């Protein structure tokens, strides 16, 4: 329809007689060519994403070991996932990781960004941005290996604790049933905090300083400014940080695979890890697919409200 409008008044008079037939033919041709443009992307996407997505749903209703015949079992795989503590527990672990991967980087990031955004200018600010961003570009596998060593018994964390006289607290953090999941969460903080700070601080530079000036004239404290100006005006950026970090937590795999592989016991196991173990080491395709479907639903359920709450300010 855009094409119709754009051609109507600019076309020379000579074409006017046959305009209608010319246009409809042309529009149809346009549409056809336009669709051709989308075909390669659509084909790849359909073949390697949409079809597997549907197949995951299909697999989740069957019992299958990957090679033999498939047996229809209805919702039994879902019931199984809900009944086995090791499987349903991964969902709870994932939510505990959200606290570390998401709430801490975003919450701490907001505070830190508001403190530093006025001092992080010039060369110092540029260097700080680069450094804080570093964990974001390296492979998560590398981050996992690095922290696997830092959190080990002779590692840096315990060394630091001993130095400040807290030697009683030292332990093999990743091998401790109570602490392993939080220790893995620490890695998430390290990877995501810098990203959140830089993103939020960039957002803050767009806030009109006059707002702060007038707030200060009215005698507002730092905290009042923070609540009344910074948070509302950064709604979009906060939404982005939450979305990115929540997905990183719920869909965590790399970091956990190389640090603990889900152990000790199942204390750090998350859906991604169990999907891999069920499907590729135990050959239980049905339950693995059911867990995968649950993970995908979970991500959508958690992400939609965040998107919905933070969208208005973007418009």
Partner 1 sequence: MKVARGELWAGRFLLLALMAFTILPFISIFMTALHPSGTVPGGLEWPENPQWINFVTAFNMAEMPKLLASSIFIVLSVVPATLVISTMAGFAIGLLRIPGASVLLFLFVFGLTLPFQGIIIPIYFLERAIGIYNTRVAIALPLIALYMPFAVFWMRAHFVNMPSELSEAARVDGATTWDLFWRIHVPLAQAPVASLGILTSIWTWNQFLLSLVLVEDPTQRTMAGGLGAFQGHYANNVPLLCAGTILILVPTLIVFILFQRQIIVALLQGSLKG
Tell which positions 224-263 bind partner 1, by CB under 8 A: 236-237, 240, 243-244, 247, 250-251, 253-254, 257-258
Residue 177 as a binder of partner 1 (CB under 8 A): the answer is no
CA dist., res. 35 & res. 51, Å (int): 20
Part in contact with partner 1 (CB under 8 A); list of ranges 7-15, 79-87, 97-105, 170-178: 7-15
State how far the Cα of 256 lies from the Cα of 185, in Å rounded to an integer.
9
Using CB under 8 A, which residues numbered 100 to 159 contact partner 1? 112, 115-116, 118-120, 124, 128-142, 145-147, 149-150, 152, 154-159
Cβ-based nearer residue to partner 1, 31 or 221: 31
CB of 40 to partner 1, least distance (A): 4
CB of 120 to partner 1, least distance (A): 6
Instruction: Kindly identify the residues of this chain, within the stretch 10-29, that bind partner 1 according to CB under 8 A.
Output: 10-11
CB of 308 to partner 1, least distance (A): 13
Q: Is the Cβ of residue 4 or residue 231 nearer to partner 1 in the bound state?
A: 4
Using CB under 8 A as the binding rule, whether residue 160 contacts partner 1 is answered as yes
Site residue total, partner 1 (CB under 8 A): 104
Question: Considering only 17-25, 74-82, 177-185, 279-287, which stretch makes contact with partner 1 by CB under 8 A?
Answer: 279-287
Contact between 275 and partner 1 by CB under 8 A: the answer reads: yes
Q: How far is the CB of 81 from partner 1 (least distance, A)?
A: 14
The minimum distance between CB 265 and partner 1, in angstroms, equals 19
Is residue 66 a contact point for partner 1 (CB under 8 A)? yes
Applying CB under 8 A, does 72 fall inside the site for partner 1? Answer: no
The conformation of residue 282, written as its DSSP 8-state character, comes to S
């Amino acid at each position: 329809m855009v094409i119709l409008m754009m051609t109507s008044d600019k076309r020379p008079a000579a074409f006017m007689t046959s305009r209608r037939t010319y246009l409809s033919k042309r529009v149809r041709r346009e549409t056809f060519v336009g669709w051709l443009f989308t075909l390669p992307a659509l084909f790849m996407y359909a073949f390697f994403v949409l079809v597997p997505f549907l197949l995951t749903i299909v697999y989740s209703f069957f019992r299958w070991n990957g090679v033999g015949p498939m047996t229809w079992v209805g919702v039994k795989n879902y019931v199984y996932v809900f009944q086995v503590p090791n499987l349903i527990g991964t969902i709870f672990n994932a939510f505990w990781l959200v606290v570390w991967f998401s709430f801490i980087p975003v919450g701490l990031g907001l505070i830190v960004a508001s403190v530093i955004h006025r001092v992080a200018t010039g060369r110092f600010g540029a260097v700080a941005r680069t450094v804080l961003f570093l964990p974001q570009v390296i492979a998560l596998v590398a981050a996992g290996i690095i922290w696997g060593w830092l959190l080990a018994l002779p590692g840096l964390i315990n060394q630091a604790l001993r130095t400040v006289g807290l030697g009683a607290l030292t332990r093999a953090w990743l091998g401790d049933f109570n602490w392993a999941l939080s220790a893995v969460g620490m890695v998430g903080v390290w990877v995501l905090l810098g990203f959140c700070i830089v993103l939020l601080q960039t957002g803050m530079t767009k806030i009109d300083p006059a707002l702060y000036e007038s707030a200060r004239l009215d005698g507002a404290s730092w905290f009042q400014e923070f609540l009344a100006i910074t948070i509302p005006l950064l709604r979009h950026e906060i939404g982005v940080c939450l979305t990115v970090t929540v997905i990183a937590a719920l869909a965590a795999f790399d970091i956990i695979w190389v640090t603990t592989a889900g152990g000790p016991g199942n204390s750090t196991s998350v859906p991604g890890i169990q999907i891999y173990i069920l499907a590729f080491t135990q050959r239980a395709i049905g339950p693995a697919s059911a867990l995968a479907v649950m993970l995908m639903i979970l991500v959508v359920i958690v992400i939609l409200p965040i998107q919905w709450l933070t969208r208005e300010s973007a418009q």
